[in-house]
Amino acid sequence: MHSIDAACQSQKWMRIMTMPSSHLATSRPVSPGTPGKILIVEDDPGLQLVLVELFTTMGYATLTASNAAAALTTLKNNRDVIMLFSDVVMPGEMDGIGLADAARKIYPELRILLASGYPQKDLTTKTLPKYEAFISKPYRSSELEEQMRELGIYPPG
């Protein structure tokens, strides 16, 4: 098992645990992988880099945005985005939950995985609709992969 430590702007440390690539290769499903890009929306540049590395290691191409407005522009210009991975608490007029609602209007079938250091019950009282999931920080890469599988997304290749 490997770990990636990243200092975030908030001066908090996050450790993401990853399995060796040999384990990832054997844990992939028999069915074909899901092609497409992952749009990562994270306002902390250090954490954004860690997430790009993590999704790239899984075999995905990535796009990034640091706020909801930039994410919506990116979504409109990239029809091959299969999943929106967004922090819930972000600067600007729209948080991750608002972004998920706006993204759903553009792409009704888009898979959305929201992440936060706050418990889901403290962030929203709404039930997440179909194709949406929530993961609490800190999380392991195996937990991230499990949430993605539950959304119907499997590593490419």
Question: Could you say which architecture CATH assigns to the domain 2-26+34-150?
Answer: 3-Layer(aba) Sandwich (3.40)
Of 30, 54, 34, nearest to 42 (Cα)? 54
CA atoms within 13 A on the CB side of 119: 3
**For 74-99, how does the pLDDT look when each residue is reduced to its tens digit (9 = 90+)?**
999 998 999 999 998 888 999 898 99
- Give the residue with greater pLDDT, 142 vs 30: 142
The number of beta carbons lying within 10 Å of the beta carbon of residue 60 is 23
Averaged pLDDT, 121-137: 67
Confidence label for 118 from pLDDT (cuts 50, 70 and 90):
low
Supply the pLDDT for residue 14. Answer: 47
Would the pLDDT of 39 be above 70? yes
CB 40 within 8 A of CB 66: no
Amino acid making up residue 47: L
Q: Are strands 13-18 and 2-7 parallel, antiparallel or unpaired?
A: antiparallel
What percent of the chain lies above the pLDDT cut of 70? 69
Domain ranges within the chain, ordered by starting residue: 2-26+34-150
Confidence label for 55 from pLDDT (cuts 50, 70 and 90):
very high
Alpha helix (H) residue ranges in 1-151:
21-27, 45-57, 68-77, 96-106, 120-123, 141-150
Residues facing 112 on adjacent strands: 84, 132
Of 45, 46, 32, 58, nearest to 113 (Cα)? 58
Supply the mean pLDDT for the chain: 78
Look up the pTM and report it.
0.76
